Structure 1
């Protein structure tokens, strides 16, 4: 029984690590009320906004938390829906940016 439990724990850690690594690269923040998709790219620390297949806007965050962009869009356009991984991605982004760099 403990062997099965250990295998399950290892698989869970592996899936969690995979998810965090995926979020470390990029994820969809959500779709605003105008139908534009907001996608975060960690490598560039930027949000790219697409209107269908056309680039609508590119915004670098320059180290600011992604939650600021989410709040900005909430005030300007509003959100129609949030991306499936957005809550976790926002948390990971906040934790990463709050951690003091040495």
Structure 2
């Protein structure tokens, strides 16, 4: 008879839970037609725009929706591509803003 104790199992972390946690912090919105990449940074409620590795612009949203920024860029420059999680991120942002009202 063995007297050793079984190791405690580490908590299971779901991929969906990890993804939601990561997106709650930041995600790539997309790349505009001028080649600038737009990233949403949730802790600051801001969009950070990069030209390659160089910071080009920092735009606090100040309670406005991320969809407003997406539409603004669409109008001014257009989008070359959207980030792989942008649709989900836009929806999460809209739901958060709606719940804050």
TM-score (norm 1): 0.84
Residue 87 of structure 1 deviates from its aligned partner by 0.5
Name the CA distance, whole Å, in 2 between partners of 1:35 and 1:57.
13
SS at match of 2:38: strand
* Runs of 4+ deviating beyond 4 Å: none
State the Cα deviation string for residues 11-65 of structure 1 (Å, max 9, x = none): 7x82211111111000000000000000000000000000011111110001111
Q: Which has the larger radius of gyration?
A: 2
TM-score (norm 2): 0.84
Aligned residue in 2 for 1:93: 93
Name the CA distance, whole Å, in 2 between partners of 1:58 and 1:83.
18
Aligned length: 90
State the Cα deviation string for residues 40-93 of structure 1 (Å, max 9, x = none): 000000000000111111100011110000000000000000000100000001
Aligned residue in 1 for 2:50: 50
Aligned residue in 2 for 1:7: none
Greater helix share, structure number: 1
Aligned residue in 2 for 1:62: 62
**RMSD of equivalent CA atoms:** 1.4
